[in-house]
Amino acid sequence: MEKVKDEIKKDIGVIQHEVKKDIGVIRDEVKKEVEVIRDDVKKEIDFYRDTPARLLGYANEVGESFRALVHVNFVRFTYVVSCAYVVADTADKSNKCAKKWAWATPEERRNKVAITAVDTLLWQGFASVIVPGFTINRLCFFTRKLLEKTTKLPSPARKWTATFVGLAAIPFIVKPIDAAVELGMDNSFRKLYDVHGAHS
């Protein structure tokens, strides 16, 4: 009987050891998963590109949409808003880069900040001003021309229709233009400088 008890105790000890080991493995896996989730939550949201503030870069597109209906100074003002947005994003990213590289030599930090500033200015210049401005301008222009040739709408109705077509296009062009500019820069300008090193 004592022998059986000893065997049972031994088996229980082995089982307890295995259970503790399994619990430890499970605990480690859970900790890893929690860290992954925390990292995802902590990922910084880019205020200038991932929030509704992104649409400030499209103020000039609103101006372009209304070009046929408003004074040219209103259109110019919308370009001022867009350019201010571009400058603000550039300053923000440059400041973050400077903080990230605070430990580096002054020259290295200056280089990293300069690369970040140039990259941001180029990206915003293309994605917020040049490409969408041209796109909306041409879309409104060709819509008016198409309406002139295919309808008998009066001139004010054609202008308003073109304006609404331009405005309606904005939500549909933001992401594709942003992605196209990102891809274009990765395959052109960014080959000339190490933008990822500046951000890493």
> Position 148: which residue type?
E
| pLDDT at res. 196 | 57
Output the average pLDDT for the chain: 86
| pLDDT at res. 36 | 64
Q: Which residue has the higher pLDDT, 87 or 34?
A: 87
Integer Cα distance of 76 and 67 in angstroms? 10
pLDDT in tens, 177-186: 999 999 999 9
Quick check: 50 and 79 in contact, CB under 8 A?
no
Residues with Cβ within 8 Å of residue 195, at least 6 apart in sequence: 115, 116, 119
Q: Model pTM?
A: 0.69
Quick check: 69 and 171 in contact, CB under 8 A?
no
Residue 117: strand, helix, or coil: helix
Find the mean pLDDT for residues 60-82.
Answer: 88
Assign 200 a pLDDT band (cuts: 50, 70, 90): very low
- Exposed/middle/buried for 48, CB within 10 Å: 0-12, 13-18, 19+? buried
| pLDDT at res. 24 | 75
| pLDDT at res. 183 | 95
Integer Cα distance of 4 and 152 in angstroms? 103
Q: Which residue has the higher pLDDT, 17 or 54?
A: 54
Residues with Cβ within 8 Å of residue 180, at least 6 apart in sequence: 131
